[in-house]
Amino acid sequence: MSDGILGVVLAGGLATRMGGSDKGLLRLGQQTILDEVLERLHPQVDEAVLNVNGDAERFASFGLPCIADSLTGYLGPLAGVLAALEYAREHQFHWVASVAADTPFFPTDFVTRAMEKALESQAPVVLASSFDHEKSKWMRHPTFGLWHVSLEGDLRRALQSGIRKIVIWTDSVGGAEVQFAHASGSRDPFFNVNTPEDLVIAQQGEQR
């Protein structure tokens, strides 16, 4: 039991651009992408769980609780966040920090800085963003968020009403944003492996 932060890796996606395979289980050097994600997440939270759908046995080697979406039908990452909020309430956590299973280089101070922003702004949810040098603007990464457990009921109703896009809902509840800068030409810390080409880039340790 803890009144702190529950970390959830959102690994319940369909991975259609990867032929339907679990992106987190793809190899990245000597480990899987999910191994890399968990190495970064564990020091930032009090406990970690995996949000997975289907046969959870494929993640058994990680030794973590696997929680499935509580709403039927594939409703996207917001459904995974809802499942984590439900778990957090049941286990007396106050916050959920969500990360994506296909983003192995995210900042090691993501949760700390998101919490600082939440306390400063009194926002119930904080999303991460990074600067896109090609587009010359800040881009939000909606699967990387810090969510207060009080959002559970509102999120369930939103999903049941048809809301699927994360930023539409987070804006509606007064969400805030925490920005992570990186130099032009350097790897975006939120670079994610969506395609076989992205996997090659990640394995080479560089981003095009």
Looking at residue 3, its pLDDT comes to 62
Is the pLDDT at 113 greater than 70? The verdict is: yes
Distance of CA 198 to the CA centre of its chain: 18
* Residue 111 near residue 44, CB atoms below 8 Å: yes
**For residue range 62-103, what is the model confidence (pLDDT) as tens digits?**
999 999 999 988 899 999 999 999 999 999 999 999 999 999
Q: Greater confidence, 195 or 101?
A: 101
Q: What is the pLDDT of residue 183?
A: 85
pTM of the model: 0.91
Q: Running DSSP on this structure, what letter comes out for residue 182?
A: -
Q: How far is CA 102 from CA 18, 90, 173, in A?
A: 11, 27, 27
- Could you give the CA distance from residue 51 to residue 28 in angstroms, rounded to a whole number? 21
Number of domains making up the chain? 1
Question: What distance lies between CA 110 and its chain's CA centroid?
Answer: 11
pLDDT at residue 208, rounded to an integer: 40
> Is the pLDDT confidence value at 20 over 70?
no
In whole angstroms, what is the distance from residue 47 CA to residue 38 CA?
Answer: 11
Q: Which domain holds residue 50?
A: 5-204
Q: What is the CATH number of the domain that holds 20?
A: 3.90.550.10
